[in-house]
Amino acid sequence: MMMMMWDLFVAQSIRDEDGEGKGKKEKQEYLEEKYPNHPLLPHDLAKKAINYQAANIVSSSIQPLVMLPVLNYIGENVGPEAKIQWVQKQAGKGFAALEKLLKDYAGKYATGDEMSLADVFLAPQIIGLSQRFNFDMSEFPLLSRLNEAYKHVAAIQDAMPEKQPDFPIN
């Protein structure tokens, strides 16, 4: 059985009977080796590059800017309303870049009709921002469509933070 574990409520790790992967790159490599019949990266070099670009946009331009410590700092030092404005602005810039990047590659999922690395990075951000901040996705029709597709992927639903054994209950 594989599960996502939360380290200090910030970084996730993958832990199963065969071991554990902590960093983003380590998790990707672990999954590629553990499940070679379901690769996260397509063999097509152009689609592989798009996957890496999408993952990079999420991991450098969205996710670190909307993490709890950042939002708590903004809320405490600027005000609670500033948190929402910050999320809207920062995630909106990243989502706009993703819409443009993926428009010629998307199928059922981000870069085709199979789940890929881009989806692994996108799904938590799209779902999390929609749920936690009631983020308006109407300006991002492609990402909205992907969000709907992700709702029907059992692995994504099973990986939701609230379904993990170490999820903090407030």
49-98 confidence digits (pLDDT tens):
999 999 999 999 998 888 888 999 999 999 998 998 999 999 999 999 99
The architecture of the domain spanning 42-163 is Up-down Bundle (1.20)
pTM metric for this prediction: 0.81
Residue 131 near residue 125, CB atoms below 8 Å? no
Closest by Cα among 169, 68, 62, 81 to 126: 62
Q: Which tens digits make up the pLDDT trace of 85-122? A: 999 999 999 999 999 999 999 999 999 999 999 999 99
Report pLDDT for 167.
Answer: 80
Long-range contacts of 150-158 (CB under 8 A, 24+ apart): 150/119, 150/123, 150/126, 153/115, 153/123, 155/115, 156/123, 156/127
pLDDT, averaged across the chain:
85
Indicate if the pLDDT at residue 155 is higher than 50: yes
What is the share, in percent, of the chain residues with pLDDT greater than 90? 53
State the pLDDT confidence band at 30, using cuts at 50, 70 and 90.
confident
Least confident range of 13-22, 34-43, 59-68, 134-143? 13-22
Where are the domains positioned within the chain? 42-163
